[in-house]
Amino acid sequence: MVKIGIEDLYSDIILDYAKNNKYKKEIPASQKAEGKNLSCGDEITIFLKVDNGKIVEASYLGHGCIISQASAAMMCEIIEGKTVEEAEKILNEVIKMSQGKEYDNDLIDGLEVFSDISKFPMRIKCFTLSWHTLEEAINNQD
Amino acid sequence: MLSSNKYEEEFPALKRKINGHRLVYLDNAATTLRPKRVMEAVSEYSLNHHANVHRSTHTLASEATQMYESSRQKLADFINAKKEEIIFTKGTTESINLLAYSLAISNMIQPGEEILITTMEHHSNFVPWQQIGKLFNIKIKYFPVKKGIFEPDDYFNYITSKTKVISITGISNVTGQVIPINLIVEKARKIRNNVIIIVDGAQYIPHFSVDVKSLDIDFLAFSGHKMLGPTGIGVLYGKKEYLEQMSPFLFGGEMIDKVSMEDTTFTILPFKFEAGTPNVDGSVGLAKAVELLQQIGMNNINQHDKMLTKYALEKMKNLDFLEIYGPQDEFQSSIVSFNMKGIHPHDVAHLLNDIAGVAIRSGHHCAQPMMNELGVKATCRVSFYVYNQKDDIDILIYGLKKVWEWLK
C-alpha cells in the first residue's frame, strides 16, 4: 500500500482553495441548506441559484477547518454551470471516493486532490460536510 | 515520581511510534493512558475469579464479591469516605444523572428553591441539571463565567437562601482553572447551611488529594478512565444521610429488599443505587489505578503537573501566533487551551500528530457554553499527567512552530 503523507492532504492546492474567498458569500433569494458537524461544531450554509434545472450560481458561508473550507470552495467551482442532475451525479461519485470505493474519475474533475481522504478516517466528515449539505440544498426547492 | 524509563515500562503506549515519531500524549484531560498493572489486574479478575457478585455462595462468587467490595473500600479510603457512601457508576456523566434524577424524584428540592450551576461546566454537569429543571419545573440558575475566568466573588452573589443545590467543577476542563472549592463551601454554608454541594471531580480527582470529610462537600462525581483506570467505571460519592433519604434511580436486580406484586422495598446503601450486575472488572482496574496513584503520591503528581503547566505556559507565551485562554497563573493546573491565529483547531491537531507525534484535543471539549464565554467555536487543548516530561513540551513547541510555518 502506498503510504499517504500529510503533505498530500495539506497540499498547496488545498491550502489555496481554503483561503480563496471567491465562493464565500450569501446569494439572496436562493435555495439553501445548513449543515453541521456535531462533534466539532463546524457549520456551513450552501446557497444555490437554480434556473431551469441549471445551477447558475453556488456559494457557501460558515466556519471550519482547511479541509472543509477547501472542499466547499472546490465544490462550488465544479457545480456552477452544471445541471442539478449533473451535480447529483458528481455528488454520488464524491461520496464514493470519500468511502474509498471505486468512482468515475472523469466526473470529478479537479477533486482528485482529495482522492486519498478515505485514508484519513477522522477527516472524512470535514470533507463531506459541504457535499451532504449540497444534497439538502438541492432538495430544498420552494 | 517514577523515573521516565519506568513509565515507559508501565505504559506500553508510550513506546508507540506515530508516523515515525515517539508518541507525545497530551490528551490526558480526555482520558489517560493505560498502565500494565491495571490491565493485568482486570485480566486476572476476568480470567480466574469472575462470577456474579452478591448472589451465589460458590467459591468464584465469593472471590468476585470480595474483590468488588475491596475495590469499593479502596476508593472510599482514597477520598476518606465510608464504604457505603461509594456508588459505582459508568463514570461522571452517569453519576451526575443519577444524582439529578434522584434528588428530583425524592422531592429534596422544594418549590421556590433553585439549583446553581455555571457556564464553565462540562456538558455532563450542565445538561442533566438543565433537563431536570425542565422536567420537574425546578429553577436552574446559571452563573456566567465571563471571558472564561471564574471569579469567586461574583459567584458568591448568586448564592442565596433559595439555593438548594450547587453543582460545580473542581477544575475547568477547558482552561484548567482550579476552582477554590473549600472557599465556596465555606461561603455557601454561611448563606445556607443545608445547601447541597456537588463537585464534578472528573478533572480534579486525578490531580489533587481529596478528603470529602474535611472539604465538607455532599457529593462528588468522577471517572476512572481519567485517572489511569479503565473506561466504563466511575464513582458517585454521597454523604450517607443524603443517600439514605434518596430514592433509587435505576430499578431491577441487586437493589431490592423484598419484591411482591404490590410493591418493592429497597436494600441498604450503596446497593440500592447499583441495579443490575455491576462492572466488577472496571472496579478492580480502578482500585489498582488508585494504588498506583498512591504509590506515586498525589502531592508528587500535583507538583509535577504544576511544574509542567508552568513550563508549558512560559514556552507557549513566547509564540506570538498563539492565543492562550484561562488564568495563566498558579491557579491553572495540567490543562492549557489555545488557538493558532486564523487556523482551525482540527488542522493544528492533525498536523501536530503527523509532523511530531503529538496527540492533543481539538474541538469544543463538551463545553459549548464555555466556548461562548470565550467567544470561540473551538480550541486546541493540551493536558498533562504523570508520565509527561518537559521534553514532551519541547516537542509540542517544535511542532507548533512547524504547523504555523506551514499554514500561516
Q: Is B366 a catalytic residue?
A: yes
What are the chain B neighbours of A8 within 8 Å (beta carbons)?
A: none
Using CB atoms, pick whichever of A41, A67, A120 lies closest to residue B377. Answer: A41
Residue with cell 519506568: B6
Same domain? For B306 and B257 the reply is: no
For B15, what's the count of Cα atoms within 13 Å in the CB-facing half-sphere? 10
- Domain total of chain B: 2
Same domain, B136 and B239: yes
The owner of cell 480470567 is B47
Query: Which residues of chain B lie closer than 8 angstroms to A9, CB-CB?
Result: 350
Cβ contact, residue pair A40, B364, below 8 Å = yes
Among candidates B27, B16, B26, B29, which has minimal Cα distance to B396? B26
Min CA distance, B407 vs chain A (Å)?
A: 8
Catalytic one among B18, B105, B275, B366? B366
Q: Are residues B152 and B81 in the same domain?
A: yes
Phi, psi of B171 (to 5 degrees): -140, 135
B303 in the same domain as B267: no
Residues B13 and B130 grouped into a single domain: no
- Asked if B88 and B255 touch (Cβ cutoff 8 Å), the reply is no
Q: What is the domain extent for residue B347?
A: 4-30+297-407
Nearest to A130 by CA among A94, A85, A84, A101: A94
Q: List the single residue in A15, A39, A64 with the smallest CB-CB distance to B344.
A: A64
Cα–Cα distance between B326 and B333 in angstroms, integer? Answer: 10
Same domain, yes or no: B45 and B24: no
Residues B345 and B241 in one domain: no
B328 and B286 in one domain? no
Which letter, b or e, does each residue of B334-352 get, where b requires 16 or more Cβ atoms within 10 Å of its Cβ?
A: bbbbbbbeebbbbbbbbbb
Q: What ipTM was estimated for this complex?
A: 0.85
Choose one of B295, B315, B330: the last residue of a domain.
B295
- Do B350 and A41 make contact, defined as CB atoms within 8 angstroms? no
Same domain membership, residue B393 and residue B372: yes
User: Which among B269, B295, B321 is the end of a domain?
Assistant: B295
Q: In terms of domains, do B87 and B17 share one?
A: no
CATH number at residue B399: 3.90.1150.10
pLDDT value of residue A1 = 42
Same domain, B51 and B14: no
- Judge whether B235 and B243 are in contact, CB under 8 Å: no
The whole-model pTM stands at 0.92
- Write the CA distances from B62 to B48, B49, B83, integer angstroms: 12, 9, 18
pLDDT in tens, chain B (408 residues): 666 678 999 999 999 999 999 999 999 999 999 999 999 999 999 999 999 998 888 999 999 999 999 999 999 999 999 999 999 999 999 999 999 999 999 999 999 999 999 999 999 999 999 999 999 999 999 999 999 999 999 999 999 999 999 999 999 999 999 999 999 999 999 999 999 999 999 999 999 999 999 999 999 999 999 999 999 999 999 999 999 999 998 888 878 888 888 888 888 889 999 989 999 999 999 999 999 999 999 999 999 999 999 999 999 999 999 999 999 999 999 999 999 999 999 999 999 999 999 999 998 889 999 999 999 989 999 999 999 999 999 999 999 999 999 999
Chain B interface residues (partner A, CB cutoff 8 A): 19, 343-347, 350-351, 354-355, 362-364, 368, 371, 377-378, 406-407
Chain B residues whose beta carbon lies within 8 Å of the beta carbon of residue A67:
346-347
Last residue of a domain, one of B263, B295, B327: B295
- The CATH number linked to B134 is 3.40.640.10
Cross-chain residue pair A67–B355, CB shorter than 8 Å: no
Judge if B360 and B280 occupy the same domain: no
